[in-house]
Chains A and B, each alone.
Chain A
Amino acid sequence: MEASPLLALEQITFRQEGRTLFEGLDLAIFPGETVILSGPNGSGKSTLLRVCVGLVQPEKGTVRIKGVALSGLNERQLTVIRAEVGFVFQSGGLLSNMTLLDNITLPIRYHQGSVDAVLLEKIDAELEEMGLLPLKKKFPFQVSAAEVKFISLLRASILRPAVLFIDEPLWGLDPSSGTKMIGRLTRFKEEGRTLIVTTSNPASMKGLSDRVLMLQEGRVVEQEKHP
């Protein structure tokens, strides 16, 4: 029997500034899958991710995370369901008035009150591995775009969310940083995490994906499947 989807989009219709981005879009993502969402610039990849986590509301249709429809939830229930989600924005989305370490620990401090020493050690180890440990007391504007991206990925993944949305992970990265990023995503995949990654260049993610989906005329078309 097939497992129930971790994320399901049912008949999603979304319009933005008079333009129809999605019309009757269906999508199901299963636990442990790595899905690459591709399409030309402006096709709505980033918007679709925002729909998935309830940052924008579709005109029609339902988004379900772990079977729970987002549309029927109040703010507090949404907060609970969002704890299941990690999201890396294309620009990073780090808080500019906090250090990199404070950015990483913010969700933990907010949801758990404080950060224990074990977790701090784990964060230091991750930062060390990425070569970012000396930068942990710096602010986002003092580091490069690539470093912001890695910190953002660490922040989104530190609490081991059920599903990780990553918007254009290679955007603004040089080839060497891009290779490091792919390596990191591959490790997540090997750990059995569920990843949904957008890119306008799916070839750059070759070997990482279980499925490559293309956004075409407001619908999702499956391009490749790697069982």
Chain B
Amino acid sequence: MTAIGSSTLGGLGRAVLRGGGYFLDLLFLAYLAFRELFHLHGPSRRETLRVIHRQILFTGLDALPLLGRIALMIGLTVIVQAVTLLPQVGGEEMLGRVMVLVIIRELGPLLTAIVVVGRSGSAIATELGNMRVAQETDALIVMGISPIRLIVLPRLAGVVLSVICLTLYFDVIAIIGGFIIAGLKLTIPFKVFIGNILSALTFTDLFIFLIKSPLFGIVIASVCCYHGLSVRRSLTEVPQQTTRAIVNSIALSLFLNMIITSLVYL
């Protein structure tokens, strides 16, 4: 083997090991947070729940207006494409199927995850990075306060619950947006439109929703907490780690989406 070939293989091997180590670190962080969830009793419970509540308000409730607008636009766009094509092939009753296929199965969970990464994931990574630099996490440790319990667990729980609710909200708003166009162009009654969607929905779609949303939430919270907590002492590391958190959260969510869709529907 040539020296170049050998060094390329060596580089590839190191990259694989680094990638593997990164996944293990993420899994370990998520495991530590989940473990705290099962030990959530005693005096620290109230304080932890208070932080979870605050995280849900920020990640879930505050995201509703933005996500609603995006969902409406996506619903309208998808249905515009559908109503221009389907009548030509005599498939108006396929509208419900298109909404289920495009919105509920794929775009709903994925776009919600991307919005949560952009809004909350970046905020989490930045906040934790700044906390590291300002020695706030060290202060917690010396006060006998577990950063996993008070920082990571609330963000994980808050993001997971928010992503589940936001995905549901996205689907509903996108469907309403779809109905506005479908109603204008095709004069389909709302009852028929919803009936189409409900009859197109299968148990598998519900299963997919229940799998994808929490998994995306876990990925976003773990990746963003991990990168935020990876900041050591310099403020210049904060934007670097935040960028990594955003890019890796989106990439991992897309990868997971591909794997789940392939496993379930192929």
Residues in A with CB closer than 8 Å to B134 are 91, 93, 96
State which residues 43-58 of B face A: CB under 8 Å. 43-47
Interchain CB contact under 8 A, A89 and B141: no
B150 contacts partner chain A, Cβ-Cβ < 8 Å: yes
A87 contacts partner chain B, Cβ-Cβ < 8 Å: yes
Interchain CB contact under 8 A, B136 and A94: yes
Interchain CB contact under 8 A, B142 and A111: no
B143 contacts partner chain A, Cβ-Cβ < 8 Å: yes
State which residues 36-56 of A face B: CB under 8 Å. 50, 53, 55
State which residues 100-154 of A face B: CB under 8 Å. 106-107, 109-114
**Known contacts A96-B130, A97-B127; is-contact A110 B138 (Cβ 8 Å):** no
A3 contacts partner chain B, Cβ-Cβ < 8 Å: no
Interchain CB contact under 8 A, A109 and B139: no
A191 shortest CB reach to chain B, Å: 21
**Which of A55, A93, A96, A111 has a CB less than 8 Å from the CB of B144?**
A111
The interface size of chain B toward A, counting residues with CB under 8 Å, comes to 22
Interchain CB contact under 8 A, A111 and B136: no
B135 contacts partner chain A, Cβ-Cβ < 8 Å: yes
B46 shortest CB reach to chain A, Å: 6
How far, in whole Å, are A107 and B44 apart by their CA atoms in the complex?
A: 9
**Known contacts A89-B139, A96-B136, A113-B46; is-contact A79 B127 (Cβ 8 Å):** no
How far, in whole Å, are A55 and B42 apart by their CA atoms in the complex?
A: 25
Residues in A with CB closer than 8 Å to B130 are 96
B48 shortest CB reach to chain A, Å: 8
How far, in whole Å, are A97 and B128 apart by their CA atoms in the complex?
A: 11
B146 contacts partner chain A, Cβ-Cβ < 8 Å: yes
B102 contacts partner chain A, Cβ-Cβ < 8 Å: no
B153 shortest CB reach to chain A, Å: 13
Q: Which residue of B lies closest to A49 (CB)?
A: B142
**Which of A75, A110, A112 has a CB less than 8 Å from the CB of B143?**
A110
Residues in B with CB closer than 8 Å to A111 are 43-44, 144
A72 shortest CB reach to chain B, Å: 17
Q: Which residue of A lies closest to B137 (CB)?
A: A93
State which residues 131-164 of B face A: CB under 8 Å. 131, 134-136, 138-146, 150
B132 shortest CB reach to chain A, Å: 11
15 contacts between A and B (CB under 8 A): A53-B142, A79-B146, A82-B143, A83-B144, A86-B142, A91-B135, A93-B139, A96-B130, A96-B131, A97-B127, A106-B47, A106-B143, A110-B143, A111-B44, A113-B43
